[in-house]
Structure 1
Amino acid sequence: MRDINGKSDIGNFYGFLKEYSDGNKPELSYFSRNWADMSQWKVLARAKLFELLNYFPEKAPLDAKVLEVKHKDGYRQEEIEFSTAKNVRVKGTVLIPENQEKCYPAIIGIHDHGGFYFYGREKIVEQEYESPLLREFKQKAYGGRSWANELVKRGYIVLCIDGFYFGSRKLNISEVSDDIPERFGANFESLDYGSDEYIREFNNFSAKFENLLVKHIFISGTTWPGILFHDDRICINYLYTREDVDKNRIGCCGLSIGGFRAAHLAALDDRIKCSVVTGWMPTYSSLLFNRLRNHTFMIYIPGITNYMELPDVMSLTAPNPLFIQQCSRDSLFPLEGMQKSCEAIQNVYNKMGRSEKFKFKFYDNGHEFSIEMQEDAFSWFDRWFKG
């Protein structure tokens, strides 16, 4: 890191790329020129973002199905699946309060990356049995909580799906070329599926496999974020089919890549009326020196910095309520980049005369969604959906 030895992770190539990066003048930045109005800018910026994401799969009927229903203390849990594209079925969990109301606000809860691929929505939804590794992960990332369950207790319907490459959509090792695990130093032969040892090996292998899969994603003509964001938007379509969801009170929330996905879901779709982005809001340029070493391949949108910085993208959310939670001791992002990003977004809301609808806060912790942060996030939703 910069404060350790003053060297860039990419050594002598940094100067070359920094000079090129500095020459980028994002032409669709909200402050790049005097736009006639906000709506004109949003139309153009969103169109360009969809173009760069470059994922336009063949459509399919939603065909939502309930696979299992469980009655819990004060709420109902439905295990569901629906189509997000032709031949693509996605599994999810819906938590529904049982307090006799006809209609509820709904939150799309988005799970993190965390280098934990074996599980998806299980990382934020309480399970009847949780492996020691899963419990350990929840303690580190979420203060030991299953935060989706905390939201349903507060009167929200919560929808959580498995993101592409996680949980029920994770890599099926039996279908991979026989030599690939060995090339990546993985050996599953003596391990029992689902054991902590197997899960560790699977997570390590999946992290390395990202490097291979992303090449195939790009050469197929699409992008990893394009796939993720498309599926997240179909979640709204699903919620719109439910009579118990108030369509004017749908929000989203997530940590880390969950925050990345929540940020873009709110930016790309006005049906999201309120959002919380946790542990994910730097500027792209601030990452160039040495903060990309631990980042996933899932975040890269080729060409985006020619048109918009990350706070420009996030400003597409305006004027809908947005709360950004930053982790002051987050090793993934430089502090100055996080500060600059929040200030830029604040300027957009101020310019629109909607400053009260944007909030950011820095927490003195590492990369996590602590209990304090969760309570602040829930209060933000309460303010705009129940106030």
Structure 2
Amino acid sequence: MENEAGEAGIKIPDWTTDAFLGTLYERTAARRQENRRNAGKPEQQAWLRSRLKAALGGFPERDHPLRARKLERTEYKDFILERVVYTTMESVHVPVMVQIPKKGQGPWPAVLACHGHGSGQRDAAGLDELGRELEEPGIHNRFAVQLVRKGMLVVIPEIMGFGVRRMAEELKANPHYSSCGTLASQLLMYGRTLAGMRVFEAMRALDYMASRPDVDSSRMGVFGFSGGGLIAAFTAGLDERVQAAVLCGWANTFRGSTLAMHHCIDNYLPGLLLDTEQPELAGLMAPRALFVESGDQDPIFPVEHTRQAIAWLEAHYSAWDAPGQFAWDIHPGGHEINGRKSAEWLLRKLGVGQVPGLEAE
């Protein structure tokens, strides 16, 4: 049989680039494995934090005054909602929802809520653009309301690139399209990453939380979903003010998820795979409290790879002599927040009452 060039017996090469990327992963595997073996050592933890921070790109200085001010206050059935604005850096203004429990008395334990891709902060609160409660909670499952009902003050910043914080032209062109691609590509030209800017702003949110007189700054946690899970994981890994973290729909492996299928560009950071895989980055939280939640039908963070991450994290927390600080739940669902165990776990870890009988499945 002849090929298109008319020559018999010559095998046409595979022109695709899949094998090239696969080879890169295999050739860097030994270095990652060596780092993984040392992950339970404090000096290795400090080194990995420095690598993560370098991959996130340059951070602005955190000395810009927040100048937080309250815009309005509204009462709902289960909570009081304050709408606040503060500045994280020069020319950058952030709209923030603050949900305050109606029952009990502060200072409250506080949770930073990091929403995923979608309409922005109102997805976490389960509100429409007019502030009305949605009939259908969507994949975010109104998770911020779940938390405030349990006695935690919840702070929900609009994450850069979503909602009203998109690029002006994209905001006008499509009300449901994020600005992740535009922001990520242009920030790279300045040696920064969109993930880095989002982590920096999450740290500024912690600054704001700690400044509120109705917050107990010794009991601050973070709850993140999907892309918000990345922000929550990296912020908690770098900022030890976070005492407990819940990661929903994110914990996995790079090879099983972000390298295996299309993901938003904000998930990709330069150089990380030279030194580490995704579970080790989540493990920067150790020995502080960490909970992983994922759906068994999640199409973009496949459950078999989430289970690999969980197995490594269980061993990692044992190496830190803190096995009781790690828990997890695989729920029957897709790429969504369930909250059947994670909300109660966070409640307990931040010291609000006692919730017995929480065992991971």
Q: TM-score range by the shorter chain?
A: 0.7 to 0.9
SS at match of 2:298: coil
Aligned-pair distance for 1:130?
5.6
| Counterparts of 1:21 and 1:257, CA distance in 2 | 23
Aligned-pair distance for 1:375?
3.0
Aligned-pair distance for 1:32?
3.9
| Counterparts of 2:303 and 2:78, CA distance in 1 | 41
Aligned-pair distance for 1:24?
0.9
Measured at CA, do residues 76 and 364 of structure 1 come closer, stay the same or move farther in structure 2, by a change above 3 Å? closer
Give yes or no for the alignment of 1:56 onto 2:59.
yes
Contact 1:28/1:45, CA 8 A, preserved across alignment = no
Map of 2:319 onto structure 1? 351
SS at match of 1:283: coil
1:157 maps to which of 140, 153, 158: 153
SS at match of 2:109: strand
- Counterpart AA for 1:352: W
Map of 2:175 onto structure 1? 202
Give yes or no for the alignment of 1:243 onto 2:213.
yes
| Counterparts of 1:11 and 1:290, CA distance in 2 | 19
Measured at CA, do residues 243 and 381 of structure 1 come closer, stay the same or move farther in structure 2, by a change above 3 Å? same
Contact 1:30/1:41, CA 8 A, preserved across alignment = no
Aligned-pair distance for 1:29?
6.6
Measured at CA, do residues 30 and 262 of structure 1 come closer, stay the same or move farther in structure 2, by a change above 3 Å? farther
SS at match of 1:258: helix
Aligned-pair distance for 1:278?
0.6
Measured at CA, do residues 140 and 240 of structure 1 come closer, stay the same or move farther in structure 2, by a change above 3 Å? closer
| Counterparts of 1:212 and 1:61, CA distance in 2 | 27
Map of 1:81 onto structure 2? 85
Map of 1:184 onto structure 2? none
SS at match of 1:228: helix
Aligned-pair distance for 1:70?
1.8
CA RMSD of aligned residues (A): 2.7
SS at match of 1:141: coil
Alignment of 1:295-314 (within 5 A): 295-314=263-282
Aligned-pair distance for 1:269?
1.1
2:335 maps to which of 367, 376, 380: 367
Residue deviations 1:171-200 (CA, integer Å, cap 9, x gap): 211899xxxxxxxxxxx5xxxxxxxxxxxx
Map of 1:228 onto structure 2? 198
Contact 1:279/1:326, CA 8 A, preserved across alignment = yes
How many residue pairs match? The answer is 338
Give yes or no for the alignment of 1:379 onto 2:347.
no
Aligned-pair distance for 1:383?
2.0
Contact 2:187/2:194, CA 8 A, preserved across alignment = yes
Map of 2:115 onto structure 1? 111
Contact 2:329/2:341, CA 8 A, preserved across alignment = no
Map of 1:22 onto structure 2? 26
Aligned-pair distance for 1:333?
2.4
| Counterparts of 2:264 and 2:170, CA distance in 1 | 24
- The structure carrying a bigger helix percent of its residues is 1
| Counterparts of 1:296 and 1:22, CA distance in 2 | 24
Map of 2:294 onto structure 1? 326
Map of 1:140 onto structure 2? 138
| Counterparts of 1:174 and 1:286, CA distance in 2 | 31
Aligned-pair distance for 1:12?
2.8
Aligned-pair distance for 1:105?
0.8
Contact 1:18/1:288, CA 8 A, preserved across alignment = no
Aligned-pair distance for 1:323?
0.8
Contact 1:229/1:265, CA 8 A, preserved across alignment = yes
Measured at CA, do residues 315 and 121 of structure 1 come closer, stay the same or move farther in structure 2, by a change above 3 Å? same
Measured at CA, do residues 280 and 52 of structure 1 come closer, stay the same or move farther in structure 2, by a change above 3 Å? same
Contact 1:157/1:245, CA 8 A, preserved across alignment = yes
Residue deviations 1:12-33 (CA, integer Å, cap 9, x gap): 3111111111111475778545
Alignment of 1:205-220 (within 5 A): 206=177, 210-220=180-190
**5+ unaligned residues in a row in structure 2: which ranges?**
1-13, 355-361
**5+ unaligned residues in a row in structure 1: which ranges?**
1-9, 177-187, 189-200
Which deviates more from structure 2 when the two are superposed, residues 157-166 or residues 74-83?
A: 74-83
Aligned-pair distance for 1:39?
2.7
TM norm structure 2: 0.85
Aligned-pair distance for 1:76?
2.2
| Counterparts of 2:266 and 2:138, CA distance in 1 | 22
Map of 2:306 onto structure 1? 338
TM norm structure 1: 0.80
Residue deviations 1:257-304 (CA, integer Å, cap 9, x gap): 12221111211111111111111111112236632x2x1111111111
